[in-house]
Copies of this chain bind each other. A is one copy, B any other.
Amino acid sequence: MLENNGFTFESLHTGMSAEFSKTITETDIVNFAGISGDFNPVHINEEFARKTRFEGRIAHGMLSAAFISTVLGTRLPGPGCIYVSQTLKFKAPVRIGDTVTAHVEISDMNIEKSFVTMKTICLVGDKTVIDGEAVLKVPRREMPAKEH
């Protein structure tokens, strides 16, 4: 009787993709610092951040990474899937005002385990800011109960 608006394993195939985009605001960074406790000055102290190689505040890497989880958990495969693992390579900084697009695409499927491997990237314009891979366990189609 599980409500599940996400995809079942049987309805997925390699090459399927989805994305989620959001503009990073100062408010997001302030709130993310408050929730996570990550008050690294490179995120919340403009005077400090200006003297670093980034020349100004940058968003928490995990904030952009969270958008990957958003696509996976709400769009593809969607509700009902179990997050097994995620790799993240932080390639470039994200700044206030940047619009981050998290793009996920199914690269492999393991029938025995009901595991789906997804290529996961975050882009700002054409630039990859995060590169990585996710593995999810996706529910199978429910079989109708046999009558006795």
Residues of chain A at the chain B interface (Cβ within 8 Å): 1-3, 5, 20, 22, 28, 31-32, 34-43, 48, 51-52, 60-63, 65-67, 69-70, 73-74, 78-80, 82-90
Contact = CB atoms under 8 A, between A and B. Distances in A.
Given A37-B74, A61-B86, 18 more contacts: A2-B51, A3-B48, A5-B41, A32-B66, A36-B63, A36-B66, A36-B67, A38-B70, A40-B73, A42-B73, A48-B79, A60-B66, A62-B65, A62-B66, A82-B90, A85-B87, A85-B90, A86-B90
A6 to B, nearest CB: 9
Contact of A67 (B22, B37, B52, B67): B37
